[in-house]
Amino acid sequence: MDTSQLDRVLAAMAHPSRRRMLDLVSSVPGMSVTAVASHFDISRIAVMKHLGILEAASLITSRKKGRVRHLFFNPIPIQLVYDRWTTQYAGFWAGRMADLKTRIEGRAEMEEVKSA
């Protein structure tokens, strides 16, 4: 994921209304724009602007059937952000935890030897 795509995903997810829209669309795949808009006290135009930001970040995709636009959640950008940040730090912490485990077990063995 390039930096500009990462910026779009994080910016899109920064707004609580857009996170709520993602929750709605992920829970009801194919939900219409009208159905999403019915959950908010903002204009349909404002909802469409938010959806446009989510679509630009590739967090949702849409299919038009007649006059109705159906929305679908795309989890891949979120997974890519997760992979980028957690993989980098997971190795560090896994190594630290293994070191801590070794030290604790070593101390426990030493105390068993002393008490024997």
Per-residue confidence of the chain (116 residues) as pLDDT tens digits?
A: 788 999 999 999 999 999 999 999 999 999 999 999 999 999 999 999 999 999 999 999 999 999 999 999 999 999 998 888 777 777 777 777 888 888 888 877 777 777 76
Helix, strand, coil fractions of the chain, as percent rounded to 5:
70, 10, 20
What is the predicted pLDDT for the residue at 41? 96
What is the predicted pLDDT for the residue at 61? 97
Look at residues 54, 32, 61, 56 and name the one whose alpha carbon lies nearest to residue 44. 32
Element (H, E) at 61: strand 60-65
What is the predicted pLDDT for the residue at 116? 66
Beta bridge partners of 18: none
What is the predicted pLDDT for the residue at 114? 76
